[in-house]
Amino acid sequence: MPDACHSPVRALAAFEIGCLARNALRPGLRGTVSAVFERSFYIHVAGQEICLGPPGLGAGPLNLRCHVERPDWRAWGLREGAAVLPAPRAIRVPPNLSVSLSEATVWRPKAPGPWSAASLAAGLRALDALLPGRVPAEGLGVLALPRDPGARRPAVAAAARGPAAALARYLRRALALPLGAPTPTVPDLRALIGLGPGLTPSGDDLLGGALVALDLLGRLDLRDALWHGMRGH
């Protein structure tokens, strides 16, 4: 591997930056490289973790996507703990990497539109119709498919089956109660935290999805109870 001090300077151009990443990357602040992976790397600045990577990284509020197809961050001298220097139109990671922000558009999630119980049910039916043949073998997506008694679940899905079912029972019970009723005790969901593949593990995606869904349903009481229940465990 080339010595970092003698590697050529890599000047990348970002084409999209998430809204929270844009707010965090204020000139004059200093950050650090917190993790380096094969496709992406993370920087910590202003209390945020920002993910930098190629177009395939996908859009997100904390993602910074660059025009680079096959990055080799470590060969380019990138290391955990390296300084990150935000400037008005660029990010520098001395000594060998700079990322221009001058052409980057800011990505923001679209606001959810109006919904009803009928439109929600229709959307869930449409999702059920799309799932077969599209769910990856890894992760927890297979739990959304009808159970084939003769099929063996992947290890991650098998490990998640019990706590995922406990989460589903909790949500069904809690949502059936009238507003203002005491909130049921949140089950132990520790087995889902950090479980599975991905930069955000599949178990975390499931829990985060439940929190987002409760927020959109207007059940902030259940959202907060689930959040504090997970933190308590």
231 or 85, which is more confident: 85
Per-residue pLDDT, 232: 67
In whole angstroms, how far apart are CA 12 and each of 8, 21, 72, 85, 95? 12, 17, 13, 15, 14
Which tens digits make up the pLDDT trace of 85-127?
998 899 999 988 999 999 999 999 988 888 898 999 999 999 9
Which tens digits make up the pLDDT trace of 128-146?
999 888 888 778 888 888 8
Residues 6 or more apart whose Cβ sits within 8 Å of residue 130: none
What type of residue is 54?
P
Spell out the alpha helix ranges (H) of 95-136. Answer: 117-130
Q: Which helix (H) or strand (E) holds 86?
A: strand 83-87
Cα 14 to the center of its chain, rounded Å = 20
Task: Look at residue 1 and tell me whether its pLDDT is greater than 50.
Answer: no
| Residue 233 binned pLDDT confidence (cut-offs 50, 70, 90) | low
Give the start-end residues of each E strand in the chain.
Answer: 10-18, 31-36, 41-45, 48-53, 63-66, 83-87, 90-93, 97-100, 105-107
Share of the chain above pLDDT 70, in %: 94
β-pair partners for 83:
32
Which tens digits make up the pLDDT trace of 24-48?
998 888 999 999 998 899 999 999 9
Rounded distance between C-alpha atoms, residue 21 and residue 56, angstroms:
18
Q: Among 62, 27, 23, which residue's Cα sits nearest to residue 199?
A: 62
Task: Look at residue 77 and tell me whether its pLDDT is greater than 60.
Answer: yes
| Residue 199 binned pLDDT confidence (cut-offs 50, 70, 90) | low
Rounded distance between C-alpha atoms, residue 38 and residue 186, angstroms:
37
Task: Look at residue 208 and tell me whether its pLDDT is greater than 90.
Answer: yes
**0.75 exceeded by pTM:** no
Per-residue pLDDT, 118: 94
Per-residue pLDDT, 93: 93
Q: Among 152, 33, 158, which residue's Cα sits nearest to residue 97?
A: 33
225 or 149, which is more confident: 225
DSSP annotation of 197 reads S
